[in-house]
Amino acid sequence: MSLSVEAQRIKDLASIQGVRSNQLVGYGLVVGLPGTGETSPFTEQSFRTMLKNFGISLDDNVKPKIKNVAAVAVHAQLPAFSKPGQTIDVTVSSVGEAASLNGGTLLQTFLRGLDGEVYAVAQGSLVVSGFGAEGNDGSRIVSNTPTVGRIANGAVVERSVPTGLMQHDHLTLNLHSPDFSTAQALADVINQRLGADPANGTAIATPLDAASVKVTAPRDVGQRVGFLATIENFEFTPASAPARVVINSRTGTIVIGQDVRLLPAAITHGGLTVTISENAQVDQPNPLANGQTVVNAQSIIDVALDDSRMFAFDPGVTLDQLVRAVNEIGAAPGDLMAILEALQQAGALQGELVVI
């Protein structure tokens, strides 16, 4: 199997510095629940505050029955260039002991940014994918997560977030995967396609480090948008990924990069299985023998030794040869993990081994 690195667009490999989404969060109440709400102190306090905002006051000695109300946290992502009046999706999560949010409606909730300002207002009916059921004997069944819901287009943007797109004479492209060779290739394709800066004759694009490339751009808004629309579709060939083996120890998934190589090495693969079982045998005397019942413990030890196999690797063995050799010996994922870790310890693995 031979893998090649193909040309890709700049917009697929890099993003513009300062053009980003922002996290919003708020606290609100979900009402209309079919008895699956809660009566926690902070829910009662929030409920009283809501009624007071509507001009309704309750005596302190009155305890409202609010099993159809739940306190929730609401969060959303505000995309870049979102304008007032546009809508965004929100996720609603219970923060108390509510059993389910299914069938509930979120009341008007302010969503604030990191600076404490309100950027959106959320409200609407929840869509909950999970469900739960409980019997009178205490038995219960739950599918997915009934205490988390979603409202599509459930928040209206009230304030836009300024970006740094027009603040300087240049903009910065940040690579999604930092790499010095890729940063240089990105700068080279822009300079080759657009030439030098007409103002001073210098290069338009200059790599700053492994992740960033500074690009001189027009100050006029219309020209800068057209400039970005042009360069983001330039295609270039990024550098190949580092030689790396990634192992997921929980699932047994192993991903091996195409540039992984092995130095000369010999590997033996075999298994030794020892099984010990206890079998208690009872000896019962005859009725007239005046004897005693005796319990004799019998231990059974079984040892199984699989056929050990050894294979050797020549210098510069490729990914194809490594996978083929491992498949031929019938190694399981756990065995392959042990083989790769042993190769790294022996210094025979030319690449980084990452265990997650």
Of 86, 85, 149, 76, which Cα lies nearest the Cα of 113?
76
Buried/exposed 262-284: b ≥16 CB within 10 Å, e otherwise: beebebebeeeeeeeeeeeeeee
Measured CA to CA, the distance from residue 139 to residue 200 in angstroms comes to 77
Q: Where are the alpha helices (DSSP H) in 115-248?
A: 180-194, 221-231
The pLDDT score that the predictor gives to residue 53 is 75
Q: What is the overall mean pLDDT for the chain? A: 76
Residue 2 pLDDT: 44
What's the pTM value of the predicted model, to 2 decimals? 0.65
Best mean pLDDT range from 31-40, 280-289, 315-324 = 31-40
Could you give the count of Cα atoms lying within 13 Å of 164 in the half-sphere of its Cβ? 13
Residue among 147, 115, 121, 112 nearest 132 (CA)? 147
Phi, psi of 204 (to 5 degrees): -70, -40
Cα–Cα dist 247/269, whole Å: 19
Q: Which of 68-77, 93-102, 189-198 shows the lowest mean pLDDT across its residues?
A: 189-198
Cβ count near 110 (within 10 Å) = 18
Residues 216-227: pLDDT tens digits? 888 887 888 888
Residue of 297 and 73 predicted with greater confidence: 73
| Backbone angles phi and psi of 272, in degrees to 5 | -120, 120
Where do runs of H (alpha helix) occur along 88-199?
Answer: 180-194
Query: Which region among 35-39, 114-118, 140-144 has the lowest average model confidence (pLDDT)?
Result: 140-144
pLDDT band at 305 (very low <50, low <70, confident <90, very high): very low
Whether 272 has a pLDDT exceeding 50, the answer reads no
Is it the case that residue 49 has pLDDT exceeding 80? no
Cβ atoms < 10 Å from Cβ of 34: 12
pLDDT in tens, 139-158: 455 556 788 999 999 999 99
The answer to whether residue 321 scores a pLDDT higher than 80 is no
All domains in the chain, ordered by first residue: 8-17+164-236 (3.90.1150), 22-157 (no CATH), 244-274+303-355 (no CATH)
Q: Which of 309, 313, 333, 334 is nearest to 322 (CA)?
A: 313
